[in-house]
Chain A
Amino acid sequence: MRIHRGARIWAVAVAGALVLSACSGAGEAPSGGSGNQPADSAPGVTDNSVVLGSHQPLTGPAAPGYSKISVAAQAMYTYINDNGGVNGRKIEYKVEDDAYNPTKTVEVVKKLVLEEQVFAIVGGLGTPTHSKVLDYLNQEGVPDLLVSSGALMWDQPQKYPMTFGYQVDYLREGKIMGKYVKDNFAGKKVGLFFQGDDVGRDTQAGLDQFIKDQVVTRQPYDPANTDVTPQMLALKSAGAEVVVCACIPSFMALTLLTSAKIAFKPQFVSSSIGADPATLTALLQDFAKRSGATVAPEQLLAGFVGAGYLPRVALTDDAWVKFFKEIHDKYIPTEAFTDTLIFGMAQAYTVGQILKAAGRDLTRRKVVETLETTELKGPALVPFAYSKESHSGYIGAYLVRNNGNGTSTVVQQPMVTDRESGEVKAAGGDRVNPDQTGLLDK
């Protein structure tokens, strides 16, 4: 009886194994066709509306600072809708919280695509997060526009035809920061502090084209670990006089606080992702309050140099800043008016411009083709790279120094460069005003 039962179980097991072994390798290309939906389709589009989706860190480690981007974007879409929408369609903007957790990103993006039937994903935020849905969105043929990250991987038109970057990529930004440091801090010891992923890798690749021999130490951080004391101590003991940071706002704030605590006062140069002074001020106060201390953010930020490509809150005479301020005052007056809000609004405005240019007869394929062939002029001080060959976003940046008394000085005029080893040169070209883009029919 016992042997008999054992034999039966074995027989089942062997039969099962035989069936299973008929499967092909898990890492091999699927045997069937790819892509369920042709890009000619237009889910989420009706006669009078278009549904767009985004994944944003509304909670979790990247939420401080970044959670306001979608608030600002929503304000811009409401403004566009209140003025008749785009090509007669109102924009419906659906935001899902992924808490900067890649697993959640996959889940919420599938929710947006499968359940909410969005037409496109716009401004999906974060490299570790968005990289996990890149394959999926391109397989499904969902336009993946204006990714909120400067990683280089969004710019692969052959492999990822549906994906387009937005921010200046970390390599270009690294080159521009590297040239600035080389020109202004020649011979000084440079320490690098960066997020331990593409952000850090690509920024370093750019920096190294200019200041490789000046770098004395390279310190990565992991967004899941909020203690940066070891890295700051390492930078201090290496004698770094200039610290170039490629970190998200919460880590930039932690860096400023921790370095002040250990009496380490180098010249900080930060890439655009962590350079918004208003957001940093709020974070510094918040973090200090939580640890029961008081800080003077103005002092901590004095001398801080940050990169940017969009107009800043400080430029109160800029037509775009005035335009954004109007929308802010009308729709989200309780939020602090920061560069982060401008980012969200400017990005949403660009989305509006893309939809406008794609025309009334909207399909997924058409949006991609439009973006590859249309020159978009908008809020930024540098141009986009969009073409058939490049899906990069902005191609340059400027640098600005915080004077510590609420004012700031541009220390590097807008520069543009390529993602190879081409030279860094001044950005030419003229900007347009908000009423010259033709987005709204009024």
Chain B
Amino acid sequence: MSAETSETTAAPADAPPARRAAHRPAPRRNLPPVVVHLGWALVAFALLVGLTMITDPFTNLRIATIGYYLIAIAGLALLTGLNGQVSLGHGAFMFIGAYTVALLVLHLPGLPFWADLLLATVAGGLAGLLAGAAAARLHGPYLAGATLALAVGLPAITQRYPDFLGGSNGVSFSVNSQPAGLVGVVPATRWEAWVVWATALLAMVILVNMSRGRLGRSLRAVRDDEVAASLAGIHVGRTKILAFIVSSACAGLAGGLQAFLLGTAAPGSFTVALSLSLLAALVLGGLGSLWGAFWAAIAFVYFQAWAEDAADAVDLPVNVENNLPLALYGTVLILVILLFPAGIHGGITRLRAALKTSRQGRSGRSEGES
């Protein structure tokens, strides 16, 4: 019995890398994971560039939208999925990122756009440091409440400084990002989609490396059992704050990219509803993994669009039609959680596992026969 349990607990942690190593060709094993991930990111970027070439400008905009939500949701996945801290305030960090880019574009026009984005990330991270310092002392619903307060309260700062932050009207600007040689050659929306996705993939590479490495193990250990983690030599408070910093830096970057993409930053865009729907999307996509964030970002952007089209297609009373997309979204969220508690990614993993066992079963039988 005891041997069995030790084996089963050890298996999930050890089995996947072992299996992967066995499948992997020998020379690859020497490559550091960051290089492998960068390679995959390059492949993904090439695919994405291909995709933007064959789709129309508006689809390019939607693809870019998925890109920045991916960063925000992936950051949330690291915090909530890996570290077990619930944040209902990520909209506020996006707000900070968006306003950082907006103010830099307006007041320091000489800075290139990538520096603006970098600073938006830093600003988000700094805000996360402050929020995280409080977060490390709070648990569960108290933490959720504190972050919720941030989401509710922070956008109101625009009311306090209407001349600087534009009041509830926000600020609008246009971002000049295209290198001179590409203007007129590549349509603006396509270029913006490339920028957003290059950034998103880079961020994903960093997040994947973090979650696979020492930090990721610490985060999971703290999530699963704080006492055990601290006995194992992990500084619990520091780890939690670090998770918050990384996560809110991601949200800051996402907000910065949104501002870059849409040329606007306004408090009306960063409501509590945004924070809540980011979390809802993550649950829909799958909490435990960064792939879940990917499905979540797609669902976040496209599900709403499809639901709106569906609502348009059916002839319904105006009030019903207007609110149908939200109702549909809620229904699907409930259904997914009932059917696949681990979200879309959980569902896909289960499906793949089921396929694999059935295939193995068949091949096993044929081996036996021969």
Whether a CB of chain B sits under 8 angstroms from the CB of A5 is yes
Taking a contact as CB atoms closer than 8 A, the residue among A97, A101, A134 that contacts B322 in the complex is: A97
The smallest C-beta distance from B186 to any residue of chain A, in angstroms, reads 11
1/0 per position for A202-229, CB-CB distance to B under 8 A? 0000000000000000001011110000
1/0 per position for A409-421, CB-CB distance to B under 8 A? 0000000000000
B175 proximity list for chain A (CB < 8 A): 26-27
Whether a CB of chain A sits under 8 angstroms from the CB of B196 is no
Whether a CB of chain B sits under 8 angstroms from the CB of A382 is no
The smallest C-beta distance from A195 to any residue of chain B, in angstroms, reads 7
Given contacts A114-B58, A131-B169, A132-B262, whether A102 and B268 have CB atoms under 8 Å apart is yes
1/0 per position for B214-251, CB-CB distance to A under 8 A? 00000000000000000000000000000000000000
Taking a contact as CB atoms closer than 8 A, the residue among B112, B260, B263, B326 that contacts A24 in the complex is: B112
B107 proximity list for chain A (CB < 8 A): 27
Whether a CB of chain B sits under 8 angstroms from the CB of A110 is yes
Question: With the chains together, A29 CA to B318 CA distance in Å?
Answer: 43
B80 proximity list for chain A (CB < 8 A): none
B176 proximity list for chain A (CB < 8 A): 24-31
Whether a CB of chain B sits under 8 angstroms from the CB of A111 is yes
Q: Please, which residue of chain B has its CB at the minimum distance from the CB of A30?
A: B176
How many residue pairs link A and B with beta carbons under 8 A? The number is 165
Whether a CB of chain A sits under 8 angstroms from the CB of B347 is no
Q: Please, which residue of chain B has its CB at the minimum distance from the CB of A103?
A: B269
B183 proximity list for chain A (CB < 8 A): 30-33
Q: Is the CB of A103 within 8 A of B266?
A: yes
The smallest C-beta distance from B354 to any residue of chain A, in angstroms, reads 38
Whether a CB of chain A sits under 8 angstroms from the CB of B105 is yes
Q: Please, which residue of chain B has its CB at the minimum distance from the CB of A135?
A: B174
Whether a CB of chain B sits under 8 angstroms from the CB of A67 is yes
B262 proximity list for chain A (CB < 8 A): 103, 106-107, 132
Question: With the chains together, A224 CA to B264 CA distance in Å?
Answer: 17
Whether a CB of chain A sits under 8 angstroms from the CB of B294 is no
Q: Is the CB of A27 within 8 A of B57?
A: no
The smallest C-beta distance from B203 to any residue of chain A, in angstroms, reads 15
Q: Which residues of B contact A (CB under 8 A)?
A: 32, 34, 56-59, 61, 65, 101, 104-116, 155-156, 158-159, 162, 166-170, 172-180, 183-184, 189, 258, 260, 262-264, 266-269, 271, 308, 318-319, 322-323, 326
20 sampled A-B residue pairs with Cβ under 8 A: A23-B113, A24-B112, A25-B112, A26-B111, A26-B113, A27-B110, A29-B176, A30-B178, A32-B184, A97-B322, A103-B264, A107-B262, A139-B174, A196-B169, A197-B162, A197-B167, A220-B167, A222-B159, A224-B168, A225-B156
